[in-house]
Structure 1
Amino acid sequence: MQFHEVKYDRAQPVDSYGPGFFRVAGEVIQGAILVTEDTVISWEGPDDLAPLLALAGKIDVLFYGTGADPAHPPADLRKALEDVGIGIEAMASAPACRTYNVLVSEGRRIALAALPV
């Protein structure tokens, strides 16, 4: 099997995560995060819609990390995103981070909003 180095160009990958934190592009952030190709910020959680809605027209899909366990996103979060043309895929935060890293390395128009594990 041949391995290839993943290149992120200017994108910011999720390097690691643990109890209550994420490490993105070498920076440790406590609590929930919102990561796009060129930005990483603290996020207040599913009731904090403004930064997510600001991504309308910039991303096609938001990966929503639900913490340690998989869960459905709140209905009003899903509806608000779909109303502005953003799809949402909910999964536990660990697979959401991994999926985000793979797809952002391919240049996809995506973002990650994740609750800590």
Structure 2
Amino acid sequence: MKFQPDRSNAQTISGYGPGWIGVDAERITHSVIIGSNGLREAWACTRFEDLTPEHFAQLAALETELIIFGSGTRNRFPPPAWLAPLIARRLGLETMDTPAACRTYNILASEGRNVVAALILET
């Protein structure tokens, strides 16, 4: 049996706390979309209440198989009507609080999955 160390080429979340996450060696203090394929872009919302249907249409345009939505400090669900663009593209969306979304993203990315995390970072 051959043993190999677990190694991932995907960017990973190296830490998180109130109002920040670490992605590889960078500390990010604003809401962000990151992907296992190297995607990293600011997400224009500072709290859950700022979300609009356009935020989820933006996610639907991404080339991914699954989206992990970190809804902030607690688990909150977007209105089902806002998910129509995702449903139309047959994209999965899993909603959880941001710390859980960070952990889940890392697991899926390390498995080689094409995953995106849309994370609200509340201060």
Q: TM-score range by the shorter chain?
A: 0.7 to 0.9
Q: Residue 85 of structure 1 corresponds to which residue in structure 2?
A: 90
| Deviation digits for residues 66-88 of structure 1 (CA, Å, limit 9, x no counterpart) | 11111112324322211122110
* 2:82 matches 1:54: no
Runs of 4+ in structure 1 displaced over 6 angstroms? none
Supply the distance in 1 between the matched residues of 2:58 and 2:6 (Cα, whole angstroms): 28
Whose helix proportion is higher, 1 or 2? 2
TM-score, structure 2 normalization: 0.79
| Separation (CA, whole Å) in 1 of partners of 2:34 and 2:104 | 13
Q: CA deviation at 1:6?
A: 3.6
**Equivalenced residues, count:** 111
- Contact 2:56–2:83 (CA under 8 A) maintained in structure 1: no
Q: Which residue of 2 aligns with 1:65?
A: 70
**Structure 1: how far apart are the matches of 2:6 and 2:79?**
33
Q: What's the TM-score, normalizing by structure 1? A: 0.83
What's the % identity of the aligned pairs?
A: 31
Distance 1:12 1:94 in 2: 16
- State the Cα RMSD in Å: 1.8
Partner SS for 2:90: coil
User: What is aligned with 1:34?
Assistant: 33
Structure 1 residue 107, shift from structure 2 partner = 0.5
Q: Which residues of structure 2 form unaligned runs of 5+?
A: 46-50
- Greater C-alpha Rg: 2
Q: Are 1:66 and 1:115, in contact at CA under 8 Å, matched by a contact in 2?
A: yes
